[in-house]
Amino acid sequence: MATQDQRKAETRSRLIAAAADLFATKGFHAVSAEAVAEAAERTTGALYSHFGGKDGLLLALVDEWLEESAQRINTGVEASADLQGRLRSLWGDAIAPHEEYGDSWLLLEFELWLHAARDAAFAEDLAERYAQRRHELGLPLGAWTGDEGLGRLRHPERTAGLVIALLLGAAMQYRLDPASLSSDDVVAGLRALIEGDAK
């Protein structure tokens, strides 16, 4: 194992982490390549060598975000005992500071979505990611309703899509004004969506 490879990997990791932070808090176009390199304690030369530029860096960031967010959904949720607790955990994850990306992961979520909505190449990647989310949330969702005696879901993935939609839209409003929505309101809404699809 060469030391070169370690340093290379760390440089790459540092640059992506710095990009995630800065792109989220200031926006992609508002951040210069030099600022990212400086925050990562590297130089623009290293950035261009690794990613070819700011765009390549953003693409790499999306890829890592893809993997990471797939895991996030399931963590914490499975620790809860009943449906109510699981839904509460989902909402908590949506608004709580995140371990790796801090309290700005929600900003990154929308920053990436905006780039995808404006660029077809990004859109395909992100669309796949959302499909993956719906799929991975749909499975446990169907199981939970069974546990609660609500019957099975007719369309687990479609319901998962609605659940994710409500979480995102509620988080938007919560970010602007935390008093505008209570946790109970959101959880009640999530439950209504789920029960509406349970037979």
β-sheet bridge partners, residue 58: none
Q: Which does 50 bind (CB under 5 to 8 A by kind): its own copies, DNA, none?
A: DNA
- Binding its own copies by CB under 8 A: which of 5, 78, 176, 199? 176
Residue 52 found at the interface with its own copies (CB under 8 A): no
The CB-of-187 to its own copies minimum distance in angstroms stands at 11
Q: Nearest-CA neighbor of 133 among 167, 108, 107?
A: 167
Q: Which stretch binds DNA (CB under 7 A): 6-14, 72-80, 114-122, 156-164?
A: 6-14
On whether the CB atoms of residues 143 and 81 are closer than 8 A, the answer is: no
Burial track 33-55 (b if 16+ CB lie within 10 A, e otherwise): beebbebbebebebbeebbeebe
Alpha carbons 88 and 183: distance in angstroms, whole number: 7
Under rule CB under 7 A, which residues in 9-48 are in contact with DNA?
Answer: 11, 31-35, 42-46, 48
- Binding its own copies by CB under 8 A: which of 17, 25, 62, 148? 25
Q: Which stretch binds DNA (CB under 7 A): 5-13, 80-88, 114-122, 131-139?
A: 5-13
On whether the CB atoms of residues 80 and 156 are closer than 8 A, the answer is: no
Which residues have C-beta within 8 Å of that of residue 73, sequence separation ≥ 6? 93, 133, 136, 137
Nearer to its own copies (CB atom), residue 143 or residue 188: 188
Q: Which does 168 bind (CB under 5 to 8 A by kind): DNA, its own copies, none?
A: its own copies
Residues that bind DNA (CB under 7 A): 4, 7-8, 11, 31-35, 42-46, 48-50, 53-55
